Every structure is written in structure tokens, then in C-alpha cells.
Amino acid sequence: MIKKIIAVSLLLAQQAYAAPVRDQHWARLANQLFPALVDMGAARPGAAMPVERRIRIDACKQEVACLLNASLWTDAEIDAVAATAAKAPAASWRKATLADDGVKAQVSRELRGLNSIIQVYGQGSAPRYPLVDGPIDVPGSLLFNAAVKDAIALAKASEDDPALPLDPSLPLAIALLDANDRADAIAFEPLDLAHNGAALGRSQIIDWKLFRYTAIIIPGIGPENVGMALSTRGKWNVRLAAKRYADGEAPFIILSGASVHPKGTRFVEAVEMRKALIERFGVPAESIIIEPYARHTTTNLRNVTRRLVALGAPMDKDSLIVTYTNQSRYIESQEFASRNLKELGYMPGTVGSRLSPTELTFRPSAKSLRIDPLDPLDP
């Protein structure tokens, strides 16, 4: 009996001092959505959280409606934490965290995006794109309410996860996405290592001065049939790109498009276009870059810019957008410019000269490197 008591006591002692469990999936998702908040938490765990937040959250005692409301960041809290972050030395931040408009703006973006995740996936607010985004279950339904309650319990069980050390709202937002299987933002990570490695290796020896354009850009245009891998217009775009590549206009083709249209499709536009370029037109794999996250034409150009930066392409040199006539006209329209300013808050680059009904030049902007979890499926 004495031996049994000693064994139980040792087990309890081990449990009391057990190391926290790190969820690698959550860590990747948090890094993709909230790079600045992750950096802040890693540097000084819990230091950035205002005391009133802890009091407010603890007072809810895990009651669902109270906890969701308490977890939202107020404007005053966002301003205070962002201002504190801005005073930290540059060495505190990874390169991916440092947006062109500064740490303060980036922290503010991430906290407002965090709020949006809680509101959409926890409180049932409408997402920006309700036809293709949002929770699995109908907001207010029994299944939705049960999923939210389970997500809160999961977040509580994960509160000591070293990957999410800043504030209880961070594991809550990640848990809400996890409860809805919305890990779209990391579906292809590590993107460049796993999918674009050959092209990135080739980019290290490219003499960019030998080419008229840094890359040929093909934005996605999804089919209307859920069982169709590539639309007829998508096939047209692929042929146009293959022709321009054969002409020696650019060293790379960048294909942009996720699995968005129609809703429920299992096909990823960038992946399907890559297959067509290789199998139908013999374009070498090391000349193709996929960008499989963009869900809209605005983010097509934003995300392509990110891949150009990854390639080491000169930002002061044009790339070439090649796409079917209607989409090409839309990209140079005032309507598209207004949509960029409304949804992204900036222009992802400058649309330049029209060379033909299907071709436009494009000069990328560093603003496209801003991470924004207001769209948590493609930040």
C-alpha cells in the first residue's frame, strides 16, 4: 500500500511539473495569421495584455456569451498595445512581421482581425464574403452553438500552449477556426519549400536584365461545375501563358487561385493550371510558381507580389498579367481599384500599359506584404 501511495504521489508530481504541450498545427496557423502577436508573446509572455482584460475574461467563468464579448479587443486596448509594440527594438521582430507601414499598424491589423474571427465564428456575424466563407453550421443553430462551446473548452485546455502565449483571445480565435476546419491559410505550407522549391532554386541564378518581365501572371477563373478541374477560360489563360513563356518574355509563370469557385470544389486553381502547363504544353516545373491561396482578383495580385518577393525579383521591374478579355478589362477598371481600396486598404501594385486585349503590365507594391487576418483564410 505504501509503495502504491508513493507511486501515485510521484505521478501527480510529474503531472504538476509537466512541460506544456505545443500544438504544431496551431503554431503554424498563428504564425500565418498573427506574426506580430506571436513575436510579442514569445518575447514577453503575457506582458502586453492589459490587466483589465484578464479581470474581464476571468469574471465570465467560461460562460459562452460573456467570454466571447470579453475576449474582443476594445479600440483603446488595441491602441495601447500597438503603441507599446511600436517602442520595441527592431530586433524584436522577424522580417515577416515588419510591414511597410510599421509595427504599430501591423499589431492593430492583427488585433482587429482577431476580433473579426471571434465575431464571425463565435458570435455568428456575417463574414466579408458570405457565399464562400464563414462557419460550417448556420449561426444560431444548435450545431453552431455546440461548436462554439466546444471551441471555448478547447481554447481553455490550450491556454498554456507556448505557441500562443500573449492573450486568451489568441487560442480562442484559433480554436474557433479549428472547430470549423478552416485551416485554409496554411493548407500548402511550407509553400515555397514544398511546392515552389525548384523555381526558387532557379531564381538564384537568374539574370533579370535578360527578360522583359519578371513573371507572367495568370489569375484564377474558376468553373461553375463543382466536378470540373479547370474552366474553359482557365484553359485559355494557360495557353496564353505558355505562348508568352515560349516567346522568352519572362523566366517564370506565376499561377494564382485557391479552391473557391464553385463553393465546395475540391480543385485548387493554381494546382490545376500548373498541371495543364506541364502536361499539355511542356513548360518545365522549375519555371512555374503556384500561389494557391488567393480567393479573389484583389488577392491574386497581392499574393503574386509576395511570391515575386520570395523569388528575389526586382520590385522596380514590370510583370505581365495575362488573362481572358473580361477579367483583363476589369483589372484596369476604376471598379477594381475601388474594390482594392475598400477590401485591402491599398493598391497591391500599379496596373500599367495595355499591350493587347488579354495583356496588361503590372508593377508590384511592397504594401502587398502586409499580413491581414481580417480574412483568416488568406491573410
The three grid cell numbers given for residue 372, joined into one nine-digit string:
491581414
CA gap 186, 27 in Å, rounded: 10
Q: Is the pLDDT of residue 198 over 70?
A: yes
Q: Is the pLDDT of residue 187 over 80?
A: yes
Q: Is the pLDDT of residue 13 over 70?
A: no
pLDDT of residue 219: 95
Q: What is the residue type of 122?
A: G
Q: What is the residue type of 150?
A: D
CA gap 105, 88 in Å, rounded: 14
Buried b (16+ CB within 10 A) or exposed e, 329-353: bebeeeebeeebeebbebbbbebee
pLDDT-above-90 percentage for the chain? 77
Q: Is the pLDDT of residue 307 over 80?
A: yes
- What is the CB neighbour count within 10 angstroms for residue 321? 29
Residues 6-27 have a mean pLDDT of: 66
93: three-class secondary structure by DSSP:
coil
Mean pLDDT, rounded, of the chain: 91
Give Cα 278 distance to the centre of its chain. 27
Q: Is the pLDDT of residue 123 over 80?
A: yes
Alpha helices in the chain (DSSP H): 2-16, 24-33, 35-43, 51-59, 64-71, 75-86, 103-117, 142-157, 169-179, 191-194, 197-203, 232-246, 269-281, 297-311, 325-331, 334-343
227-273, pLDDT tens digit by residue? Answer: 888 999 999 999 999 999 999 999 999 999 999 877 778 899 999 99
35-73, pLDDT tens digit by residue? Answer: 999 988 776 654 557 788 989 999 999 999 999 999 999
CA gap 81, 34 in Å, rounded: 14
Which residues make Cβ contacts (< 8 Å) with residue 129, sequence separation at least 6?
A: 295, 296, 375
| CATH H-level, domain 188-369: superfamily | HUPs (3.40.50.620)
Reported pTM: 0.90
Q: Is the pLDDT of residue 2 over 60?
A: no
The three grid cell numbers given for residue 29, joined into one nine-digit string:
496557423
CA gap 377, 191 in Å, rounded: 15
pLDDT of residue 224: 80
CATH 3.40.50.620 intervals, the chain = 188-369
pLDDT of residue 95: 75
User: Is 262 in contact with 132 (CB distance < 8 Å)?
Assistant: no
User: Is 186 in contact with 177 (CB distance < 8 Å)?
Assistant: no
Instruction: Determine phi and psi for 245, rounding to 5 degrees.
Output: -65, -45
